[in-house]
Structure 1
Amino acid sequence: MKAQPKASHFIDGEYVEDTDGTVIESLYPATGEVIARLHAATPAIVEQAIAAARRAQPEWAAMSPMARGRILKRAAEIMRERNRALSELETLDTGKPIQETIVADPTSGADAFEFFGGVAPAGLNGSHIPLGQDFAYTKRVPLGVCVGIGAWNYPQQIACWKAAPALICGNAMVFKPSENTPLGVLKIAEILHEAGLPKGLFNVIQGDRDTGPLLVNHPDVAKVSLTGSVPTGR
């Protein structure tokens, strides 16, 4: 199979497999060819991913926004260096023509990492509130563990759009791509960690409609970002 990843999930900085999960066949839409077989996350995999995020997040939150931003900007650089390979994978994943993915998909994801990596010093420290002789201020603090759930049409972009603001603000993320386009996000996870992101801060698990509730109803999840249909959101 032409696009088989090392394993189905990326947790705590490494690929993880659990063959007890339901098989997900990734099809190349242009031909119907099976290009990869993966496994949906079991409850144990979901717990493993959220636990890794929870462990890693406090130390990440203690870093300065500037330090976090440098990692995101380096990830943007790597994505641009590998634009061709990422675009070819996006074409296999989604069926879009390469003429579109090579100018629109990984490049847009890289733009998100660069933008949020650069905006961090300007607006994450809170603000002073004038109250006459009294002194008051707001302090912005990370939420903790965030969940991202992606859609089939822009899998790499959506992963970056959700991960970039969460990470720059000091949060960790567990991301589930659409079961129809499971491949590209694993490469985004690789690139983030190559850029210097500490282990456990961006985890990818595969799954379908049964996996989402395990994530969004988990007591350790502070925020959910979903791109999907109204029925799925409900």
Structure 2
Amino acid sequence: MLLLRRGTVSLRRSAAASLAAARCASSGSVGVTVPLNFWDGERRASQGKYTKDSVYEPATGRVLCHLEPCGAEDVDQAVKSAKLAFGHWSKLSGMDRARIMIEAAHIIESRREELAEMEVVNNGKSITEARLDVDSARLCIEYYAGLASTLAGQHVQLAGGSFAYTRREPLGVCAGIGAWNYPFQIAAWKSAPALACGNSMVFKPSPVTPVTAVMLAEVYAKAGAPEGLFNVVQGGQETGSFLCLHPDVAKVSFTGSVPTGKKIMELASKGSETSDSGAWWEISSAHIPR
């Protein structure tokens, strides 16, 4: 068993309190009782009466929390929140988006140890690897923040002195579906390029590692992102299906197994039939057993 610090901790509601509590996190001592869903700028409890699933701490096998899965109504609320934020975020200049993303990276850097220790409890990896994961997440956000102000179309010269030009336009609400092995890092990998390009996101972490993605949502909110820019919905296959089928989701980015990736492509294509913009997919395949 990897012991980080002694003591018992119960995570609280606010971003500051939850991250401060994580600073004292140790394997076998943390109990998460606050909601792990996040939209409209704050943590949210599921609106339906669904059976809560036990989430086990990998290092000890004890129950870490009881996960409230999101139903269709919850997913719809999260997507609506993201759609509203997209209207504002997409109109900002790339430089303005970059400033908020850089501030988020600074917050992650200042709380590196807190986030890493919570990732140990969440995922079971060593503290050394967890610190590297947090660093990678920060660097990813910094990298795409640097690209935000450089995104531009092309000037195309045509015959007879005419010309054409192209514009890069954000897609809208993007859905991210993460895996269990790099929970915080994958949330950053999926959100950073989407946000830099002017999109908003609804992210669903793996149901076996649900804790740290919502901490990233709180970081973005504290950095000054508009409410609803990055939202988190929890749950398993059913929640993922609601997200992929939602007509207002313009892109789905998934990391996980090949069979699940095929299913997600099928669902997203059905969702695009009722969407005005169609659907885009990004499947990152890995043979992940859970």
* TM-score interval, smaller chain: over 0.9
Q: Cα RMSD (Å) of the superposition?
A: 1.2
Counterpart pick for 1:59 among 71, 88, 91: 88
Alignment of 1:77 with 2:119, yes or no, is: no
Counterpart pick for 1:127 among 154, 168, 172: 154
| TM-score after normalising by structure 1 | 0.96
Corresponding residue number in structure 2 for 1:30: 59
What is the Cα deviation at residue 22 of structure 1?
Answer: 3.0
Q: Cα gap change, 1:204/1:5 in structure 2, threshold over 3 Å: closer, same or farther?
A: farther
Cα contact 2:69–2:235 (8 A) shared by 1: yes
Output the CA distance in 2 between the equivalents of 1:3 and 1:119: 39
Q: Cα gap change, 1:71/1:140 in structure 2, threshold over 3 Å: closer, same or farther?
A: same
Counterparts of 1:77-226 in structure 2, within 5 Å, are 77-102=106-131, 104-122=132-150, 124-132=151-159, 133-226=161-254
Bigger relative CO (Cα 8 Å, ≥ 6 apart): 1
Larger radius of gyration: 2
SS class of match (1:214): helix
Q: Deviations over 1:18-56 (max 9, x none)?
A: 262331322111110112222000111011001111111
Q: Cα gap change, 1:168/1:5 in structure 2, threshold over 3 Å: closer, same or farther?
A: farther
Cα contact 1:87–1:101 (8 A) shared by 2: yes
Cα contact 2:71–2:242 (8 A) shared by 1: no
% identical equivalent positions: 47
Cα contact 1:54–1:145 (8 A) shared by 2: yes
| TM-score after normalising by structure 2 | 0.78
Cα contact 1:91–1:97 (8 A) shared by 2: yes
* Structure 1 outlier segments of 4+, above 2 Å: none
Q: Deviations over 1:109-138 (max 9, x none)?
A: 11111000011122x121111213111111
Output the CA distance in 2 between the equivalents of 1:77 and 1:160: 14
Output the CA distance in 2 between the equivalents of 1:52 and 1:192: 15
SS class of match (2:152): coil
The count of corresponding residues between Structure 1 and Structure 2 is 232
What is the Cα deviation at residue 3 of structure 1?
Answer: 4.1
| Residue identity matched to 2:72 | P
Q: Cα gap change, 1:22/1:8 in structure 2, threshold over 3 Å: closer, same or farther?
A: farther
What runs of 5+ residues in structure 2 fail to find an aligned partner? 1-9, 11-29, 263-290
What runs of 5+ residues in structure 1 fail to find an aligned partner? none
SS class of match (2:90): helix
| Residue identity matched to 1:189 | A
Cα contact 1:3–1:89 (8 A) shared by 2: no
SS class of match (2:49): coil
